[in-house]
Chains A and B, each alone.
Chain A
């Protein structure tokens, strides 16, 4: 039985990765299990300079999910390279850095630095809904996405994945911009912009008023978008959005995802990602599937 995949040039022992912002830089979860069991780790969104993040309250519970407005708090790429990367390198798993910036120049500068580091790939974050500049500001038009992607492509030799926001009218056209910009893969979905109101205070619960919705509540939206994107582009897809089990992961792969990420699912159970690896294998045994790559995109539409 083969669970190995080659995702946009990145060798992974299985298709299970952990989503940016839900796994830090791995340290906390390494107390629970051997990180080498994962196909890959996508780091917390990392910027050129440290970012303080947004005012609290930053998170709240919603129906079968949660809202967050962290605001990309991170220690900056230099700190990452000196302190977190050496730790991550102790494990046999692909390391993909989620890169965020507030201008095209910043994305380019950051990716020049990332190109020199011993990492397996870069996930370009064009989709954070919680910061005023950059990210989603570039991520919601074909031209914006293509422009950033192609400029980063010129300075980055490593596999380039671009992460899409679902907060757009036509996700397929945005994915096409990623492909046309020269990226190696696309990942989706980031969180859906949402809001929760405290009815006693008549104020939004989050200090930033709005936040990104994640968790099982968004899974059907994510599966639909992965399918649509799979019909529009020829580059591999990293699918995510509410996955908490092997069954969920298989659903994304049938829809067209070559690999998947566990996001908010890490919060409710520290073992969700490794449990998903085992459950995928169980599905393969049950359905007599020799190679996990064989199921990608095999959903038979009505």
Chain B
């Protein structure tokens, strides 16, 4: 059940100059959330900034009821949030989203992430690994300076491929190319992905070509996060110019089957 909660900030870590990891006490959200769910945070008690900020869940510490999320400072809202001090009460609505990662029926899974899109993939990988799945992770960054969470992802994977576009760290190239090789070797039953739009388009195309089930976590500007305002529209695969059809990232997603949506 979705709830509104003032959650105590118990740990705060700066991963990069503009990237922060927050740990908050949120036992109910942790209990109810599934891999792929997100939360919305109100960063001010006043009306400026106005809307809540949708942020993906990084880790659910079920034992201790601790919710972890990682975010990049992109504007005024996330900047205010980044300045919250330990002990602060973080105003959270969550868990949000009905479309979550569904890995249960696959044994050999591939998790493909790019840049800050890797955050919601951690809980998925961790859960799948705990459930005895063969977890293959492919994460890409533009360059060495942007690489993060390598050891964290390594720990919860059977195989980790880390790439940088320019080869300044680890493997050179795009993570999806390494995934494609493993698909061609018949090692992958399903793909789960989150990252920049060009990467999502490429993996959607690849999955459809290779006829492999694929689930994508999407992002869109949103207001309520609850399925009310209908702001965060995403075109369905059936949608045409004459008969447009939209679903919503907050309600149908944020995770969708790649073949059901049109992100072109």
Contacts and interface: CB of A to CB of B under 8 A. Distances in A.
A229 B91 CA distance: 38
Q: Which of B2, B4, B229 has the most CB of A within 10 A?
A: B229
Interface stretch (A9-17, A58-66, A104-112, A162-170): A58-66
Interface in A37-55: 44, 52-55
B227 A269 contact: no
Contacts of B245: 52
State the main secondary structure of chain A at its contact with B: loop
A68 B228 contact: no
A205 to B, nearest CB: 8
B224 interface: yes
B116 interface: no
Nearest to B42: A268
B223 A63 contact: no
A57 interface: yes
Contact of B230 (A55, A58, A65): A58
A261 interface: no
B48 A64 contact: yes
A271 B224 CA distance: 12
A41 to B, nearest CB: 12
Interface size bucket, B side?
A: 20 to 34
Contacts of B230: 21, 44, 53, 58, 70, 73
Nearest to A73: B230
Contact of B220 (A57, A73, A264, A270): A57
B242 to A, nearest CB: 10
Contacts of B244: 52-53, 55
Contacts of A268: 42, 47, 50-52
B233 A66 contact: no
A23 interface: yes
Interface in B214-257: 220-224, 226-235, 239, 243-246
Contacts of A23: 228
Contacts of B239: 52
Contacts of B226: 24, 28-29, 270
A79 interface: no
A236 interface: no
B246 A73 contact: yes
A65 B223 CA distance: 11
Interface in B43-58: 47-52
Interface in A48-99: 52-66, 68, 70, 73
A53 B234 CA distance: 11
A22 B42 contact: no
Interface string B1-16: 1111000000000000
B93 interface: yes
Given A52-B243, A59-B229, A66 B2 contact: no
A273 B52 CA distance: 17
A149 interface: no
A68 B229 contact: yes
A267 interface: yes
Q: Which of B42, B47, B221 has the most CB of A within 10 A?
A: B47
Contact of B50 (A55, A58, A61): A61
A301 to B, nearest CB: 27
Contact of A31 (B2, B47, B50): B2
Contacts of B235: 55-56
Contact of B47 (A29, A55, A215, A271): A215
Q: Which of A28, A31, A57, A271 has the most CB of B within 10 A?
A: A28
A216 interface: yes
A24 B227 contact: yes
Interface string A1-38: 00000000000000000000111100011011000000
5 contacts: A62-B50, A66-B51, A68-B229, A266-B228, A267-B51
Interface of A: 21-24, 28-29, 31-32, 44, 52-66, 68, 70, 73, 215-216, 244, 264, 266-271
Interface of B: 1-4, 42, 47-52, 77, 93, 220-224, 226-235, 239, 243-246
Given A28-B226, A53-B246, A271-B4, 9 more contacts: A22-B228, A28-B224, A52-B239, A53-B233, A56-B221, A60-B221, A66-B51, A73-B230, A269-B42
* 4 smallest beta-carbon distances between A and B, as pairs: A59-B231, A52-B244, A24-B228, A28-B226
